[in-house]
C-alpha cells in the first residue's frame, strides 16, 4: 500500500487528508487514479519526504505528499 497525504487546501479540494492506495509503478501512475482528477498540475509532490516528479518509481510502503505551491516575500 501507498499512503497519500494531502496538505493545506488540497485536503478540501480532494476530499481527504490521508488515503491508502494499492502500490503503483510510478507516482504518475498513482496520480492517474480518478480521485486525483482535480489535483492542479503545479502541485508539489514528494515521496518519502523528498521532492519528486511524476516519473518517480514507487514501492509498497512509500508515503506520497501532495502540497500546493508556496511563495513568500
Residue extents of the structural domains in the chain: 2-67
Q: Does residue 71 register a pLDDT over 80?
A: no
Average pLDDT, the chain: 95
Fold of 2-67: Ubiquitin-like (UB roll) (3.10.20)
Residues 32-51 have pLDDT tens digits of: 999 999 999 999 999 999 99
Residues 15-36 have pLDDT tens digits of: 999 999 998 999 999 999 999 9
Cα(69)–Cα(37) distance, integer angstroms: 17
Give the pLDDT score at 70: 83
Residue 53 CB contacts under 8 Å (≥ 6 apart), including other chains? 27, 45
pLDDT class of 73 with cuts at 50, 70, 90: low
Give the pLDDT score at 15: 95
Amino acid at each position: 500500500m501507498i499512503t497519500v497525504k494531502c496538505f493545506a487546501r488540497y485536503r478540501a479540494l480532494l476530499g481527504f487528508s490521508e488515503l491508502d492506495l494499492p502500490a503503483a509503478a510510478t507516482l504518475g501512475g498513482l496520480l492517474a487514479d480518478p480521485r486525483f482528477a482535480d489535483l492542479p498540475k503545479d502541485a508539489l509532490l514528494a515521496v518519502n519526504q523528498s521532492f519528486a516528479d511524476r516519473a518517480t518509481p514507487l514501492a509498497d510502503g512509500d508515503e506520497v505528499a501532495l502540497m500546493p505551491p508556496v511563495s513568500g516575500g
